[in-house]
Amino acid sequence: MGGGLVLAKGCCCPRVRRRNLIAAWRIYGYSRYRQSVGPCNVLTSELLRMALRQIAIIVLTLLCCAIPAPAAGEITLRLATGSRTGVYYPMGCGIKRIVEDAYPNIVEVEVVETTGTVENLQLINNGQVDLALVQNDTAYYFSHGQVMYTLPSSKAMAVASLYTELIQILATRKSGIEHIDQLKGRRIRTGSPPQNIANSATIIFALDGWEASDLTDVRCKFSEARQMLLSNQLDAAVVTAGIPTPLLTDTVDGISLQDRVRIIPIGEGLANRLIHRFPYFVYTSIPANTYRHQSDPIRTVGVRAILVARKGFEHRDGDTRRLPPDFVKALTRSIFEKTDLIRTGHGVEGADLSQYDLPLRDGLNGILDHKLRPIIPIHPQARAYYAEKGLLKKTLVDYLPTILWSLACLIILGYVIKYRAAIRRIARRHIHVRLILAFVCLYILGAVAMFFCERYNNRCFESVGESFWSITIYMLSGFEDRYPVTWPGRVLSILIFVLSVFFFGAVAGRFAAAFLKREENMMPKDVKDHIVICNWNERGKRVITELRHPEGRPDADVVVIDNKAVDEKELARMPGANKLYCIHDDPIRHGTLNKARVSAADTVIVLADSQSPDPDAKSAMIILALLSECKRRRPHIVAEVLNSDNSQHLADAGADET
């Protein structure tokens, strides 16, 4: 363009390109103007030129703004999963779907097929992948430098806990194995190669007291173990997988492995010890009817499948491109809010993830221990999301059972303090009451103390209610599967056992002694020629004392009938107490008189009832009832008269003496 400005090629900045075009137009327009306008019309042409220049600038500006800038390339993230026949691969494809839907044309996820957890963590450590699906037990070893890892590493950071992979102990039905103890001395597939590396199965057996000589440890792929189980080359196999496990339910050559094996449960006691020692284990069970011939749920433990991210992957070295702000936080949120898309939108043919719910409440299960301490490093952005949702600290709902139990204890304590005088008075009178109170105090204190010792390590004592129930079972039948796993809890259990035996024995002895004493003081059924005293008052003691006089009837049986509370302890201190019997009933009733065998008695003494409005009238009625009951043989009747004017009335009623 003659003296025009040459535009720089390859310039991609819209602002620079627009400025160059405007400068070029100005030079070109001014040169054409000087050629076409004469000197006489300079002023008019100058005004026209300025107007055209402004119009041209506006048009070029609009054109430049309409030219799109070249699109920046998508950021590719690599996600390590597992084999296509497992759960990790379709789960990874589902995560890929939610990421790419959230960030179209910005983030692309490449799903990498691998052999599983160990390779995934190695890829994370080498910086070859950004995200990975792994088991939390191996991630725990990776972070702490244990088992197959010689040094700890902080490169794998937990993002979300997805689902539980259950430890399933399978024993052939032909072996007859039904309990874990029966596995000793058998050929057991404990896991995949390599040999001499601890895995979940060997950890369980070792914690149960096994040694290397107690089993034949076979390491092979589970597909190979299936054939060995069917051909009886193995007695049992341990597999860690989600349920239902396809290799158990699939039918190959008309044979389904679930018809040939039995699943062995892991007792709650062993599960408690496992979780206390290895915090990555979680409680779980196989629901009833998961497999054929399995009508009841089966207790076991499991490990969690978790999503981890490489530390600092969002800051890409040597690349000016950056992930969107809070990418990991948004990813964590999407996993739990778009679960249905992960389960149904993975696009892997033949993969069924419909049984994996991925609830938010389990988002840190297997990542935090019972004290809410991370056992695996948590990504800061994921931690921020869980903090917003309240998963990193206990809420009022978590403390509500403890608060209610505490209030109940305080209310009971308040009543005890309020009525302490009456309780003390009753306890002083009856030793068995004192023993029962001491036993109740021991029971409450023992349950509360066990709760504080075991709550973080033992599901049987994780709440005050569970602690009371476990102590009840312990006192009645032993701990069985509810035994403590901490040393303070074990010391307490010994003290509770010793004291409970002592108190049970003392209380039982007291009740037995009281029962025997009552049996001894029961009136013989064939008693005769005895003395019956109807009603009881202060003068009754003098009557008995006179009867026991050597000139009286010292060896005679005496039966006291009264419907009021008679102080039997006082009667027991009287002479001849071994032949003194009490019947707590109204002496005016015919049934009571018949029970006292008044027809076979030698003498009947009717004392005045001091609590009756008319004692003499009641005595007369008792005499009439006596005569009605003693038609064949009449005893000698002596009646106490309070009003001398009524003596004749009692004599007329049938009293021999008044």
Spatial distance between the Cα atoms of 643 and 195, rounded to a whole number of angstroms: 106
DSSP tag of 600 = G
Tokens representing 516 are: 């025997």
Residue among 529, 548, 533, 547 nearest 640 (CA): 533
Task: Report the range of poorest mean pLDDT among 119-133, 172-186, 256-270, 400-414.
Answer: 400-414
Mean pLDDT: which of 76-80, 195-199, 562-566 is highest? 76-80
- Confidence class for position 387, pLDDT limits 50, 70, 90: very high
Task: Report the range of poorest mean pLDDT among 125-129, 407-411, 495-499.
Answer: 495-499
Residue type, 436: I
Spatial distance between the Cα atoms of 277 and 206, rounded to a whole number of angstroms: 12
The per-residue b/e assignment along 337-374, b for 16 or more CB within 10 angstroms, e otherwise, is ebbebbbeebebeebebeebebebebbbbbbbeeeeee
Query: What pLDDT is stored for residue 515 in this prediction?
Result: 66
CA dihedral (482, 488, 493, 494) positive or negative: positive
The residue whose two tokens read 């403590």 is 484
Spatial distance between the Cα atoms of 101 and 96, rounded to a whole number of angstroms: 8
Task: Report the range of poorest mean pLDDT among 10-19, 50-59, 574-583.
Answer: 10-19
Query: What pLDDT is stored for residue 565 in this prediction?
Result: 67
Q: Which of helix, strand or coil describes residue 128?
A: coil
For the stretch 556-581, pLDDT in tens is 888 988 887 677 667 777 776 778 88
Helix axes of 42-66 and 14-36: crossing angle, nearest 10 degrees: 160
Note whether 533 and 517 are within 8 A (CB). Answer: no
User: How many Cα atoms sit within 13 Å of 521 on the Cβ side?
Assistant: 18
Indicate whether 336 pLDDT > 70: yes
Residue among 243, 257, 191 nearest 220 (CA): 191
- Confidence class for position 552, pLDDT limits 50, 70, 90: confident
Indicate whether 29 pLDDT > 90: no
Indicate whether 253 pLDDT > 60: yes
Residues in a beta bridge with 166 = 241, 302
Note whether 108 and 74 are within 8 A (CB). Answer: yes
Task: Report the range of poorest mean pLDDT among 2-11, 309-318, 609-618, 638-647.
Answer: 2-11
- Confidence class for position 551, pLDDT limits 50, 70, 90: confident
Note whether 160 and 95 are within 8 A (CB). Answer: no
Query: What pLDDT is stored for residue 11 in this prediction?
Result: 45
Query: What pLDDT is stored for residue 132 in this prediction?
Result: 97
Indicate whether 294 pLDDT > 80: yes
Residue among 407, 399, 376, 309 nearest 145 (CA): 376
Tokens representing 567 are: 């102080």
User: How many Cα atoms sit within 13 Å of 156 on the Cβ side?
Assistant: 37
Query: What pLDDT is stored for residue 95 in this prediction?
Result: 96
Tokens representing 277 are: 């020692």
Note whether 627 and 594 are within 8 A (CB). Answer: no
Mean residue pLDDT across the chain: 82
Task: Report the range of poorest mean pLDDT among 103-107, 361-365, 483-487.
Answer: 483-487
Contacts of 263 (CB under 8 A, 6+ apart): 168, 169, 170, 171, 286, 291, 294, 298
Query: What pLDDT is stored for residue 505 in this prediction?
Result: 76
H or E element, residue 532: strand 531-534
For the stretch 298-308, pLDDT in tens is 999 999 999 99
Indicate whether 7 pLDDT > 60: no
Query: What pLDDT is stored for residue 518 in this prediction?
Result: 59
Three-state DSSP string of 238-303: EEEECCCCHHHHCEECCEEHHHCEEEECCCHHHHHHHHHHCCCCEEEEECCCCCCCCCCCEEEEEE
Query: What pLDDT is stored for residue 9 in this prediction?
Result: 40
Query: What pLDDT is stored for residue 382 in this prediction?
Result: 96
First to last CA, the chain: 157
Indicate whether 71 pLDDT > 60: no
CA dihedral (133, 135, 141, 147) positive or negative: negative
Mean pLDDT across 216-222: 90
Ramachandran region of residue 455, left (φ > 0), alpha (ψ -120 to 50) or beta? alpha
Mean pLDDT across 252-277: 88
Task: Report the range of poorest mean pLDDT among 87-101, 355-369, 531-545.
Answer: 531-545
Mean pLDDT across 178-204: 89
Helix axes of 268-277 and 200-207: crossing angle, nearest 10 degrees: 110
Who has greater pLDDT, 633 or 233?
A: 233
Query: What pLDDT is stored for residue 532 in this prediction?
Result: 92
Who has greater pLDDT, 429 or 658?
A: 658
Note whether 364 and 279 are within 8 A (CB). Answer: no
Q: What percent of the chain has pLDDT over 70?
A: 83
Residue type, 587: P
Query: What pLDDT is stored for residue 311 in this prediction?
Result: 93
Indicate whether 421 pLDDT > 80: yes
Indicate whether 466 pLDDT > 70: yes
Query: What pLDDT is stored for residue 162 in this prediction?
Result: 96
Task: Report the range of poorest mean pLDDT among 167-171, 187-191, 208-212, 330-334.
Answer: 208-212
Tokens representing 282 are: 């979680």
Who has greater pLDDT, 573 or 314?
A: 314
**CA-angle at 166, arms to 162 and 171, nearest 5°:** 165
Query: What pLDDT is stored for residue 2 in this prediction?
Result: 42
Contacts of 166 (CB under 8 A, 6+ apart): 240, 241, 242, 243, 284, 286, 300, 301, 302
Is beta strand 282-286 parallel, antiparallel or unpaired with respect to 261-264? unpaired
pTM summary value: 0.61
Task: Report the range of poorest mean pLDDT among 247-251, 314-318, 435-439, 500-504.
Answer: 314-318
Residue among 631, 633, 632, 638 nearest 655 (CA): 638
Spatial distance between the Cα atoms of 239 and 630, rounded to a whole number of angstroms: 87
- Confidence class for position 318, pLDDT limits 50, 70, 90: low
Note whether 615 and 646 are within 8 A (CB). Answer: no
